[in-house]
Structure 1
Amino acid sequence: MFSPEVLKKRRSELKISQAEIARQLGISRQSYFTWESGKTKPNSQNIEKLAHILGVSASYFESEYKIVKTYLQLNSHNREKVENYAEELLTVQEENNVIQLYSIKVIDDIELSAGLGENIYDESETVEVFADKDYSYDIATWIKGDSMEPVYLSGEVALIREGGFDYDGAVYAVVWNERAYIKKVYLEEDGYRLVSLNPDYSDMFASAEDNPRIVGKIIGHFMPVVGG
């Protein structure tokens, strides 16, 4: 499993800034920040590039790397001790750390665009995901794209409370030209101005002539719990 702590530690040891690594990778600093914060993880291609930049092997970033490296240096007798102790720890952990998970029904064929937008449909299928908190919401759907980073991440679930426009600057789900978006919204005389958090994206204007619709306010967002 990719370890953001190992990545941050190695970068700090070499005294390389986040911005410099992002530049060498050809990505935004915000995208790189989500790796070190553990909110997202790089794909295999970017892990290889990170390894080259930081002068380590690709396996170096795996959280198991140090454990495996140490284990392989043990003799057979001590390896058996480690295995037995690990099994005991796992048993205790499973008994004492039962986490309650909450089911969330996510509209699966509509993604709120934090980028280019997706077509929306009147009839939608849902998929069950799990959260470690009990949320109150009306609609749940996926977030796609990076225009709302670093707050709203691609792959997260957005939770919507249905309703109209309340005030400037709130983050809403908006349907415009048969596409769904998540944006900060500002009411103007002849439509809505849709604003991204990522400064790399320009504002968009949804003209009143196009009948843009506020689906509701974004009241929460989370990355689904793996293994729910």
Structure 2
Amino acid sequence: MEDKIKGRTGNLGNKETMSFNIKRLLDSKRMNPHQFADTMGFKYTTVMNWIKANSYPRIDKIELMARYFGVDKSDLVEEYNPIKEKQSTTKQILDNIFNKLEKPRQDKVVAYAKSELDEQNKVVEIADYQIEKEYPYYDDAVSAGTGQYIGTSQRETITLPVDFDADYVVPVYGDSMEPEYHDGDYIFIESTVNLNDGEIGVFEYYGDTYVKQLILEDDHACLHSFNEKYKDMKVDADSDFRILGRVVGRYSE
């Protein structure tokens, strides 16, 4: 099903773990696979095969990626556990400092820690604070075949627990942008008519609205789908085509 714009890890194996970690690190740099492939000098199809868990990179490629992301190789090949990682690092620091102290000073640390624990137990528990932000939300304009622009459809409001600098939100329908964007995801759009090569945007193309990657060629452009099942949509001077905005974020429920 084509992605018209309208209204998901465990360690299952080395390839799946690698796939998850590459996507996680790309998200941290706000890069898409096409930009990453260009930066690293890798073939785009090779990068997509890693992301889709169809293949596993050689050790030299893993080392290159680790250096680029500024992480250890284990951060790519092992299952990611941020809570365990943070707890382990904190405990190591505390143990290292405590073991270097003389006995009287260790006793003071223990006494202080007990005092802090007592104070903590006196604190009345309150609900964790969670970000809630309202966004303009367009739903009906993204149905297939409507030919409506998002900006002229009925505007609603949606509240989501994420904070993006976006002008409006629309949902994704279809699988043509998997594995990056899934059916039912909310995408956050910055209104603009100017996009660079490789950026993800929302486009009006012959009356329908799509989320695609913009690829600029010498004499034309293409609307590219990450899912290899779908062919590129060619755009030239004669095309009924309009850029509606840039995708600046994604949220999955």
Query: Which of these residues, 133, 137, 150, is aligned with residue 102 of structure 1?
Result: 133
Identity of aligned residues (%): 24
d(CA) in 2 for partners of 1:93, 1:141: 40
1:164 maps to which of 189, 193, 202? 193
Aligned to 1:183: 212
Report SS of the residue matched to 2:181.
coil
What amino acid maps onto 2:237 in structure 1?
A
Worse overlay, 162-171 or 173-182:
162-171
Q: Is the 8 A contact 1:110 1:142 kept in 2?
A: no
Counterpart secondary structure, 1:208 = coil
- The one-letter code matched in structure 1 to 2:232 is D
Are 1:211 and 2:240 counterparts?
yes
Paired with 2:147 and 2:137, the residues of 1 have a C-alpha distance of 14
Q: Deviations over 1:28-67 (max 9, x none)?
A: x9xx99xxxxxxxxxxxxxxxxxxxxxxxxxxxxxxxxxx
> Aligned equivalents of 1:94 and 1:187: distance in 2?
54
RMSD of the alignment, in Å?
Answer: 3.4
Q: Residue 124 in 1 paired to residue 153 in 2?
A: yes
* Alignment-mate amino acid for residue 138 of structure 2: I
Distance 1:215 1:94, change over 3 A: farther
Q: Rg: which structure is higher?
A: 2
How far residue 131 of structure 1 moved from its aligned partner, in angstroms, is: 1.7
How many pairs does the alignment contain? 141
Aligned CA distance change for structure 1 residues 107 and 94 (closer, same or farther; 3 Å) = farther
Given candidates 201, 207, 212, the residue that maps to 2:230 is 201
Q: 1:133 to 1:208 in 2, by over 3 A?
A: same
Structure 1 residues without counterparts, runs of 5 or longer: 19-28, 34-91
The structure whose RCO (Cα within 8 Å, separation 6+) is larger is 2
The TM-score, its normalising length taken from structure 2, stands at 0.47
SS of aligned partner of 1:96: coil
CA shift digits 1:176-218 (9 cap, x unpaired) = 1011111111223554211111122221112321231111211
Counterpart of 1:142, as a letter, is: P
> 1:135: Cα distance to partner?
1.9
List, as ranges, runs of 4+ consecutive aligned residues in structure 1 with deviation greater than 4 Å. none
Code of the residue aligned with 1:96 in structure 2: it is A
- What code does the residue aligned with 1:150 have? P
Q: For the residues of structure 1 that align with 2:178 and 2:226, how far apart are their CA atoms?
A: 6
TM normalised by structure 1 equals: 0.51
Whether the aligned pair in 2 keeps the contact of 1:164 and 1:216 (CA below 8 Å) is yes
CA distance in 1, matches of 2:138, 2:245: 15
CA spacing shift, 1:120–1:210, aligned 2, 3 Å: same
Asked if 1 retains the 8 angstrom alpha-carbon contact of 2:185 and 2:252, the reply is yes
2:215 & 2:130 partners in 1: Cα distance?
40
Deviation at 1:147, TM superposition (A): 0.7
- Residue of structure 2 in register with 1:147 after alignment: 176
SS at match of 2:153: coil
Residue 94 and residue 135 in structure 1: after superposition, are their counterparts in 2 closer, same or farther (change >3 A)? farther
Residue pair 1:192, 1:206 contacting (<8 A) in 2 also: yes
**Larger relative helix fraction:** 2
Paired letter, 1:121? Q
